[in-house]
Chain A
Amino acid sequence: MSDDSTAQASAADAEAAGSADVALETGSQVTPDDPNDNRWNDALRQILGGSFVISILAVVLALIVGAILIAVTDPGVQQAAGYFFSRPGDTFQAIWNVVSGAYSSLFQGAIYNFGRPTFAAGIRPFTDTLTYATPLIVAGLGVGLGFRTGLFNIGGQGQMLIAAAFCGWIGWSFNLPPVLHLIVAIVAGFVGGAIWAGIAGVLKARTGAHEVIVTIMLNWIAFYLISYLLRTPGALQEHGTNNPKSPAILPNAILPPLFGPQYQLHWGFVLSIAATIVVWWLLERSSLGFKFRAVGENPNAARVAGISVKSVIIWALVISGGLVGLAAVDQVLGTTTGGFSSGIDAGIGFDAITVALLGRSRPIGIFVAGVLFGAFKAGGFLMQAANNIPIDIVLVVQSLIVLFIAAPPLVRAIFRLPTPGSRPRTKTPAPTATAEEATAK
């Protein structure tokens, strides 16, 4: 950047050169008072939104802490630690054995089992991973879409239960032609979740009721409603049984296996891929998604720009709930086709929040995070069976991931305390010598 003569300064004036000159030209590289706050937020959002580094680090850190927990709770390690000072090597050996054993089981249970003779059998754990991932991905997309609109949809459980009732009822009550039946059932599931979340949306838009409170309360309403219906003959309960369980899904409405009957993986996974693409388009390329994001980032500016914040809130929750409903579709029409109970949501509605956070609310990120969590689920079982390590450790690792992801805001909260003036302001390069020329003049 030129920094010598006034002539050059005015030349640069005419021809907006680079950013350094710019700052010198206008004399202002910093916005006044409050924007600092925005800029700081912006930096935070970049950490949260842009970089995958934090996500990856969170997973790695969680696995390390998980390893420590595995080592500490293992009886073999405890025994060896008893005579640590006479033979410290034993303790480390025991730690190595149990941790490596646990994580290799986790891997073999989730990705590829080297103990099997053929590739087809060896790769089976990976298809299980994808099966577990399928509902997590769609539900994560739903929650993530809410996040992008500034809405915290923690009503995944309730939305899944209502969606399960909707698509299940279509699935067992009607006799429709093959493909049509499946499609109608899927749509019904979407609608069920959408309605349930839509209630929260309407309440928030109309009355200002906070969606966190409303969705969590709707969880309980849905839970007891579905439990009641499952116990009521003529409602959702299967004929000729006293169990609180629904009838089996008719074959035409079942999501067919993707790679043949020896794998659990069903067409719901394809649905998840499609949902990922659609949500990406919706958020990044559509007018509706543009409004969602605008409201999510700055509802005031959105309102001033003529965007109806109320209808955006309603639509975002409707679509969010619909996607979560698709998770129930995966469960009811894909994995547990023999009829469901009130535990059909299997915690997916809550895991979806973690998945969305880990995926930074970006569709691709959510897809990857969903697969990772699917792997934890699939691998956790083998880890428990082969190494006698409680599957709870997987839950702990999952929770730790959330904790570490939540750390940047925590850090910000700490750094917020000092004065606003202490914040770095811009990326503009440090002022150059042009300053003096004015003095000379």
Chain B
Amino acid sequence: MKLELRGITKRFGSLTANDHISLTVEPGEIHCILGENGAGKSTLMNVLYGLLPADEGQILLDDEVQHFEGPGDAMKAGIGMVHQHFMLIPVFTVAENVMLGHESTGFAGFLNLNEARKRVREISAQFGFDVDPDALIENLPVGVQQRVEIIKALSRDAKVLVFDEPTAVLTPQETDELMAIMRQLRDAGTAIVFITHKLREVREVADRITVMRLGKVVGDASPTASNAELASLMVGRSVELTVQKEPALPGDPALRVRGLTVVDHIGQLVVNDVSFDVRAGEILAVAGVQGNGQTELTEALLGLQQHVEGEIELDGNLLSGLSVRNVLDAGVGFIPEDRNEDGLVAEFSIAENLMLDRSDSTPFVKGGSLQLGFRSTFATEKVAEFDVRAQSIETSVGTLSGGNQQKVVLARELSRDLRLLVAAQPTRGLDVGSIEFVHKRIVQARDSGIPVVVVSTELDEVDALADRVAVMYRGSIVGIVPGGTSRETLGIMMAGELPDSPDDPAPDPHNDDGRSGTRGEAA
């Protein structure tokens, strides 16, 4: 089925999220919509899927104008969507999830599960999905859950499939498999809309690329375009995709973690006997698919986890067992994974957020009283230094863009006297320009001679920053390898296996001198 959007316009108040967007997706083609966060991709897809009414413009399927009142209409018309966050019920089986929403019933209202099972088997067989219709969703790996989403869409005879940032939760291998599935679907004649901001994926599968920026289509590109070309189209200027950094000059081990074990609040072992060293002046990247204990590891370092065993030592001083306050006072800077939840108070101004973790002591507080004068001088200085784009230091951070919010967090953490920097997903959801900035700052912190721990699920980021890479799987460190280890090796390790010919998976802090440097153009 051919999908055509004509002049779709969607406004939210004074903001035009989609400004006369026109594009055509032919059957048997993978059409990538590339753009940064906030470019309007998701709004466009919500319009397409009937979740939002368009202010202007038309949606055409096979040259027929459509009117979608809601997702139901869109589904009926043959549009399927695979959401970034799966819309599956964990305690239901695959077949039950697939039939959910259009259950067919037999005698006396009994669910016709057999038919659903048959349908799942058929589609599975057709595309080689290998999905058991009776498996419970909660027992399936993420990649397979995504296939269930695809089956769900296909079982409703979707002729146009929309993938909304589908690779965010996948391992590199799972991503490759998804790409293969997408190609297969394409060859079967499905029109595929693939939304992403990852350049590598785009170039791999796209037949056509439409780049969006600020609610407009800024251009089409061919899959042969270089990363730099695509990025500059997305951002509107040329972007440095690699981090300029000198080889690390690591000093003595500064952070020593031994036998760290974390049990979460429901009694699950989330970090399992983890040991590693980080030397002053080096970046240890902790790679892994999301949810393999990285979050808890960083929280344990900060004293935010309750049930922690093992030892954490910074410059010979024991950190484990200290309160968050004392850990911070020991010189630990922390960039939390979820800046909105854990890093910032959205309703507070920039200035207030900049003093958030120093609300007890001089220079921000004297005699129990806030030093507003000092605070505004400080904030003005930091806003300039970290290039936070905001109207004033009194602007509440909730109104800033993600990049600017993250700069506020960075400014706060890096303006203390640090002895260790822990950055969890420091560039999640940021645009290319901000990523560049954040990476620069992290490398600067390293070069100032402190140990840095960066947790990232993005291999590009790991690649760009790491002097050494620790790969986590199910709470344990699979191995620690030098920076610049190939994606394939890392991918295998992220799935919990040791590669056949490991560079050196044993935790050995002295094996990587001079192995860092700029990599990334490989992407």
Bound CA–CA A383/B508 (angstroms): 85
Determine how close the nearest CB of chain A comes to the CB of B429; give it in whole angstroms.
3
Bitwise, B356-374 to A at CB < 8 A (1) or not (0) is 1101100011001110100
- B483 interface hit (Cβ, 8 Å): no
Using Cβ atoms and an 8 Å threshold, which residues of chain B touch A45? 347
Bitwise, A385-423 to B at CB < 8 A (1) or not (0) is 000000000000000000000000000000000110111
- B37 interface hit (Cβ, 8 Å): yes
Return the contact of B323 from the options A291, A308, A421 (Cβ within 8 A): A308
A422 touching B346 in the complex, CB below 8 Å, given contacts A27-B39, A290-B359 = no
- Asked whether A434 lies within 8 Å of B37 as measured between CB atoms, the reply is no
Most-contacted residue by chain A among B14, B38, B432 (CB, 10 A):
B38
B-contacting 9-mer, from A17-25, A344-352, A370-378:
A17-25
Bound CA–CA A10/B433 (angstroms): 13
Determine how close the nearest CB of chain B comes to the CB of A303; give it in whole angstroms.
7
- A4 interface hit (Cβ, 8 Å): no
A303 touching B345 in the complex, CB below 8 Å, given contacts A26-B433, A419-B52, A430-B16 = no
Interface set, chain B 216-254, CB cutoff 8 A to A: 216, 218-219, 232-237
Bound CA–CA A9/B213 (angstroms): 15
Bound CA–CA A266/B429 (angstroms): 59
- A235 interface hit (Cβ, 8 Å): no
Bound CA–CA A422/B70 (angstroms): 13
Most-contacted residue by chain A among B233, B356, B360, B433 (CB, 10 A):
B356
- Asked whether B213 lies within 8 Å of A27 as measured between CB atoms, the reply is yes
- A306 interface hit (Cβ, 8 Å): yes
Bitwise, A19-60 to B at CB < 8 A (1) or not (0) is 100111111111111110011011001000000000000000
Determine how close the nearest CB of chain A comes to the CB of B351; give it in whole angstroms.
11
Interface set, chain B 305-328, CB cutoff 8 A to A: 323-325, 327-328
For B366, give the chain A residue with the smallest CB separation: A287
Determine how close the nearest CB of chain A comes to the CB of B365; give it in whole angstroms.
4
Determine how close the nearest CB of chain B comes to the CB of A400; give it in whole angstroms.
28
Bitwise, A127-165 to B at CB < 8 A (1) or not (0) is 000000000000000000000000000000000000000
A306 touching B401 in the complex, CB below 8 Å, given contacts A297-B347, A425-B38 = no
Determine how close the nearest CB of chain B comes to the CB of A300; give it in whole angstroms.
5
Using Cβ atoms and an 8 Å threshold, which residues of chain A touch B302? 304
- Asked whether A285 lies within 8 Å of B370 as measured between CB atoms, the reply is yes
- Asked whether A419 lies within 8 Å of B46 as measured between CB atoms, the reply is yes
- B51 interface hit (Cβ, 8 Å): yes
Bitwise, A281-324 to B at CB < 8 A (1) or not (0) is 00001111011011001101111111110000000000000000
A-contacting 9-mer, from B102-110, B117-125, B154-162, B333-341:
B333-341
- Asked whether A421 lies within 8 Å of B46 as measured between CB atoms, the reply is yes
- Asked whether B219 lies within 8 Å of A438 as measured between CB atoms, the reply is yes
Bound CA–CA A31/B325 (angstroms): 29
Most-contacted residue by chain A among B218, B341, B355 (CB, 10 A):
B218
- Asked whether B216 lies within 8 Å of A26 as measured between CB atoms, the reply is no
Bound CA–CA A35/B339 (angstroms): 9
Bound CA–CA A25/B214 (angstroms): 11
A38 touching B401 in the complex, CB below 8 Å, given contacts A27-B213, A294-B359 = no
Bound CA–CA A279/B15 (angstroms): 40
Bound CA–CA A23/B431 (angstroms): 11
- B29 interface hit (Cβ, 8 Å): no
- Asked whether A421 lies within 8 Å of B398 as measured between CB atoms, the reply is no
- Asked whether A26 lies within 8 Å of B405 as measured between CB atoms, the reply is no
- B277 interface hit (Cβ, 8 Å): no
A285 touching B369 in the complex, CB below 8 Å, given contacts A24-B214, A39-B346, A421-B42 = yes
- B26 interface hit (Cβ, 8 Å): no
- A426 interface hit (Cβ, 8 Å): yes
Most-contacted residue by chain A among B213, B334, B390, B398 (CB, 10 A):
B398
Interface size on A, residues (CB 8 A): 64
- Asked whether B232 lies within 8 Å of A27 as measured between CB atoms, the reply is no
Using Cβ atoms and an 8 Å threshold, which residues of chain A touch B346? 35, 38-39, 41-42, 297-298
- Asked whether B218 lies within 8 Å of A26 as measured between CB atoms, the reply is no
Interface set, chain B 36-56, CB cutoff 8 A to A: 36-39, 42-43, 46, 51-52
- B348 interface hit (Cβ, 8 Å): yes
Using Cβ atoms and an 8 Å threshold, which residues of chain B touch A441? 232
- Asked whether A435 lies within 8 Å of B218 as measured between CB atoms, the reply is yes
- Asked whether A435 lies within 8 Å of B52 as measured between CB atoms, the reply is no
Bound CA–CA A430/B36 (angstroms): 16
- Asked whether B429 lies within 8 Å of A31 as measured between CB atoms, the reply is yes
Bound CA–CA A29/B16 (angstroms): 12
For A422, give the chain B residue with the smallest CB separation: B52
- B141 interface hit (Cβ, 8 Å): no
- A428 interface hit (Cβ, 8 Å): yes
Most-contacted residue by chain A among B233, B235, B434 (CB, 10 A):
B235
- Asked whether A34 lies within 8 Å of B347 as measured between CB atoms, the reply is no
Q: Write the residues of chain A forming the contact surface with B, with a CB cutoff of 8 angstroms.
A: 6, 9-10, 13, 16, 19, 22-35, 38-39, 41-42, 45, 285-288, 290-291, 293-294, 297-298, 300-308, 418-419, 421-431, 434-439, 441
Q: Which 6 A-B pairs have the closest CB atoms?
A: A30-B38, A32-B429, A431-B214, A424-B12, A31-B402, A22-B389
Can you offer 20 A-B residue contacts whose CB atoms are under 8 A? Answer: A10-B237, A13-B237, A19-B389, A27-B38, A27-B234, A29-B38, A31-B38, A39-B398, A298-B345, A301-B356, A303-B304, A304-B334, A304-B342, A307-B356, A421-B43, A421-B51, A431-B215, A431-B216, A435-B218, A438-B237
Q: Write the residues of chain B forming the contact surface with A, with a CB cutoff of 8 angstroms.
A: 11-17, 19, 36-39, 42-43, 46, 51-52, 213-216, 218-219, 232-237, 302, 304, 323-325, 327-329, 334, 336, 338, 340-348, 352, 355-357, 359-360, 364-365, 368-370, 372, 387, 389-391, 396, 398-405, 428-434
With A287-B368, A305-B324, A426-B399 given, name 4 new contacts (CB 8 A): A9-B237, A19-B389, A39-B399, A428-B15
